[in-house]
Amino acid sequence: MTKWQPQDHYFHRAKKEGFIARSVYKLEEVDRRVRLLRPGQRVLDLGCHPGSWLQYCARVVGKQGLVVGIDTRKISVELPPHVHLVQADVFELSPADLHHFSNEFDVVLSDLAPATTGIRSVDSDRSSLLFQRALALADDLLVPGGHFLGKIFQGSSFDEIVRELKSKFRKVKGIKPRATRKESKEIFLVAMDKKK
């Protein structure tokens, strides 16, 4: 079994390129593969701590775009003026809470993850709940034709969730980015082109 190395190639690359965390390369790979983000878009980032996804989105959408990050924890990284932060729990957040930023978004991202117990079934159930909450918010806030990307731990409700995504979006794909640790059970589900 490979020993977990907190300071691997991606960690050093992130430091060198000015990103606060290595997780940025998961989003970057998905974006490169499916063209998720474009200049001028409005992006909602759920579970945005420590902020590397916010940094990446801010660069891609540019000053004409908007990025709103939600997390229960405070973000300490410095961000440009077109990035806004809300300290909140996604289960207590309503779409109306975001309307002063924008009534709708072009892309909703979720890197939400539960505090893990090490019990696989418990962790995957908690991850599914977070994913479904992110999807419910995306349902309310995404424009028709908008995109959703969410992290999930594979478990018993995985197939059901994929079916639900397929009923709402025209294209659905599972991606395990190279920056994901080998022992991790996480996968990213990308759902493109929300149906009207």
Q: What is the CATH number of the domain that holds 69?
A: 3.40.50.150
Mean pLDDT of the chain: 93
| CA-to-CA dists, residue 188 to 37, 78, 120, 191, angstroms | 15, 27, 17, 10
Tell me: pLDDT of 128 over 50: yes
Tell me: pLDDT of 89 over 60: yes
Q: Pick from 146, 73, 154: which is nearest to 109 by CA?
A: 146
Judge whether 4 lies within some domain.
Answer: no
Judge whether 144 lies within some domain.
Answer: yes
Judge whether 2 lies within some domain.
Answer: no
How do strand 169-175 and strand 105-110 relate by DSSP bridges? unpaired
Mapping DSSP to helix (H, G, I), strand (E, B) and coil, where does residue 34 land? Answer: helix
Cα–Cα dist 33/30, whole Å:
5
Give the range of the structural domain holding residue 128, as residue numbers without chain letter. 9-194
Judge whether 3 lies within some domain.
Answer: no
Residue linked to tokens 């499916």: 34
Has 151 been annotated as catalytic? Answer: yes
Q: Which residues pair with 53 in a beta bridge?
A: none
Cα–Cα dist 38/34, whole Å:
11
Rounded percentage of the chain residues whose pLDDT exceeds 90: 81
Task: Please give the DSSP secondary-structure letter assigned to residue 3.
Answer: P
Judge whether 114 lies within some domain.
Answer: yes
Given 3, 16, 151, 185, which residue is catalytic?
A: 151
Tokens describing residue 112: 């939400």
Judge whether 135 lies within some domain.
Answer: yes
Number of domains in the chain: 1
Q: pLDDT: is 138 or 16 the higher one?
A: 138
The confidence score (pLDDT) of residue 7 equals 66
Judge whether 36 lies within some domain.
Answer: yes
Judge whether 1 lies within some domain.
Answer: no
For 5-40, write each residue's pLDDT tens digit: 556 777 778 777 768 788 999 999 999 999 999 999
